[in-house]
Chains A and B, each alone.
Chain A
């Protein structure tokens, strides 16, 4: 019974989101804190260092941490305000259970555990082990990510575990594994500083990774040329040397064209191609018929700009190419990624100072969380769950028979589809809010409503957890020690600042108790987070993501350690591939042919406008935390429909007019924001909100065949202006997901 127990208004009234503001005079004790705890921001993959002020077991403020080398005190607004998630009136303080007609009422831990374990056993007895699924997330530390993977396979004994990185980095991960045999950015951020040319493709760096912007500007101060590929003039694109306003869904055409131009002009590193790569001829053959007129027609970018970009890249002696979800959220996300890698390999500019390539990992632990085994196809150390040797090694670490280890399960969206089909009957979630973050979320809601039992571990009642039978009161980032791995591959230490309030528990303790009650307690006897990490180190040993040589002490003493770090005397690896020994079977970097193909849904007469989605600087992902922090909400209080004035004129749409945006999945109303900073054929809506304001009611659930990432970044829509002006944001209260 995973339907809402009462009206959404009643649920919001009791559990929020409510906006938390700092008292005008500050929190008590701000100026005389008991402790300043050095840790990291809980949000994006930059993992900026920050010090939390603690008074009487509450986080009451922050102080910049000047010594942490990546950000040296710099923070974005989310970082400045992150402390307000603590002390929050919406905090779930004890386990809750659904009560029909009433909402959610507190229950004891024993009751919550008993009911959950009984339901798991009932469902698995009646329908099979895989009928109980688990969804996890990469705001979790490495320790928790590792333990979730082990829990699902050893205690829950299900194959159907996946994570929200499926909506984030999997296309990049798959592309990197194809090309390099390893999934990590090649260089640390410092290598940006002296790159002569920087391409950033599909990454709104200034809004999603604001503190990385400083590194881009340092490069520009040193003379770098900046090329930005984006359908919108984002804040970083505004001052770029070249802005390529690409039509969504055509990235591989652009990078394929650039590869062709590099070859035509012999702007190639033949020595590198000949000695350290394979597949160049095949990759080139896939683009041999491209010409600039075709590229202009396909990508919507003026051919002179394409030629200029290729020329800058071709003639450079150092360079850095970065991309993110803009090119990865596609049914050809992996193709887009390898098409970028192809131009890096063609010029041989990798594995050297100021020569780098990588994806900008989005989530707080998007890097570490995708390495240690809570993906449906993966085991710790970025091992393959279908590889017999990998299975044997991990089974030995876990002390189980390899035959008892489940196989590859369904990816996140496929798992929801299986729930919808009635194949999966029970679900446990932690750190994932699929009702906001998955595409086509009306379908997701239908699926949730079919579950026989749904238990959520969370600290706030997010939109998905509103459908839960039981909620287990979990822990915030600042309540549990651990490590995370930043987007540059640096493993850093998260320090607990406070203990969970009232009857809330640490996530790790919840998972361990569930494991004990499911009969796998002997495999989950961890005294503390460091004990989990030490098992993770062994489990990762020999894998491509090798953490064996990393210890808590070493992390603290060095402000982080870059993996791979295979032995205790190893200093870590800030820059990959200096030895040109790639981790592919043949030891070479692989070009991959990436012939252009259209997106899964292209515009037509009925749905003539391209819809793309993304983020704003004051919000983070599905907003479970940031839609509860007052100033972050007020900075951008509701999702707006960005539309070019010329397109708006065709429909007679006025500024702030409510426009019904319709796709084949659903429809929703958004206030129009008329801006010349977007392509004329494309509209943009940020996705952080749920309920009637959710952009993901409209997006499409088609998946990349390799990475299984959904195609958030392009679908077809039509616009139906209502003729009415949107109410003031304070009336629509979009942050509440009503």
Chain B
């Protein structure tokens, strides 16, 4: 795959506190020609009855992706740059193993197409030196695409974290979430 302009210094950062729940990211994502007007990023209220806090759900691009590991058809692959790609349409059998296995609950099965769909970090844009569409339009930059040095300089009160613990299981991801300064990991359970 031609990717001469893919810059490995560029990373994806998610800062939930900046999310205003506007859904611009979803609408921009859906514009991608491969997505068929479906968004691969999802915004949800945490609990609208008590707060306007929203949360971002997007592929975290795991170092050791459970979705790929459980795929019986080898439809999901991780490339040399750490991007976990959406299921290969020719191989995907629509079994939903990946949907069940992902610790972040990201992949969704498109029932109409019998196909698993997820974010591929806007490969068409990022491999051409652009930012992913969601991080481009995000009006608050709750979704930021840039270098680690850039975000540490711009946002000194937060620290990017990409190590998660689900019980005893450690999951490391290509995508970072912004946490209070000095954080090293997020323990989910």
Contacts and interface: CB of A to CB of B under 8 A. Distances in A.
A505 B139 CA distance: 34
Given A617-B20, A675-B48, A210 B140 contact: yes
Nearest to A632: B27
B51 interface: yes
Interface stretch (A72-80, A279-287, A421-429, A465-473): A72-80
Interface in B1-59: 17-18, 20-24, 26-28, 30-31, 33, 36-37, 48-54
A76 B24 contact: yes
B136 A21 contact: no
B157 to A, nearest CB: 7
Contact of A22 (B17, B31, B156): B31
A237 B17 CA distance: 11
A73 B22 contact: no
B141 interface: yes
B49 A80 contact: no
Contacts of B54: 235
B137 interface: yes
Interface in A61-76: 61-62, 64, 66, 71, 73-76
Interface in A231-286: 233-239
A190 interface: no
Given A31-B33, A75-B139, A213-B139, A80 B24 contact: yes
B36 A210 contact: no
Nearest to A239: B17
A157 to B, nearest CB: 45
The residue among B20, B26, B49 with the most chain A CB atoms within 10 A of its own CB is B20
B90 interface: no
B37 A74 contact: no
Contact of A76 (B22, B49, B50, B154): B22
B137 A73 contact: yes
A77 B157 contact: no
Given A25-B36, A31-B33, A675-B49, A74 B136 contact: yes
A142 to B, nearest CB: 25
A211 interface: yes
A674 B54 CA distance: 17
Q: How large is the interface on B (under 10, 10 to 19, 20 to 34, 35 or more residues)?
A: 20 to 34
Contact of B31 (A73, A80, A214): A80
Contact of A676 (B37, B49, B136, B157): B49
**Secondary structure type dominating chain B contacts:** loop
A52 to B, nearest CB: 13
Contacts of A76: 22, 24, 139
Contact of A234 (B17, B24, B26, B52): B52
Nearest to B133: A64
A551 interface: no
Contacts of A210: 20, 22, 24, 139-140
A493 to B, nearest CB: 22
Nearest to A677: B52
B22 A676 contact: no
A206 B50 CA distance: 18
The residue among B21, B23, B36 with the most chain A CB atoms within 10 A of its own CB is B23
B91 interface: no
Interface in A538-574: none
A438 B17 CA distance: 36
Interface in A512-551: none
A150 to B, nearest CB: 37
A680 interface: no
Nearest to A234: B52
Given A75-B139, A210-B20, A238 B52 contact: yes
A51 to B, nearest CB: 12
Contact of B139 (A61, A74, A218): A74
A617 B45 CA distance: 14
A356 interface: no
B31 to A, nearest CB: 7
A399 interface: no
B26 to A, nearest CB: 8
B28 to A, nearest CB: 5
Nearest to B32: A26
Given A24-B36, A631-B27, A213 B136 contact: no
A80 B36 contact: no
B28 A75 contact: yes
Given A26-B37, A213-B139, 20 more contacts: A24-B36, A31-B33, A73-B137, A75-B139, A77-B26, A77-B27, A79-B24, A80-B27, A206-B20, A207-B22, A210-B24, A210-B140, A214-B140, A221-B156, A221-B157, A233-B52, A235-B21, A631-B30, A645-B49, A655-B49
Interface of A: 21-26, 30-31, 61-62, 64, 66, 71, 73-77, 79-81, 206-207, 210-211, 213-214, 217-218, 220-221, 233-239, 617-618, 631, 635, 645, 655, 673-677
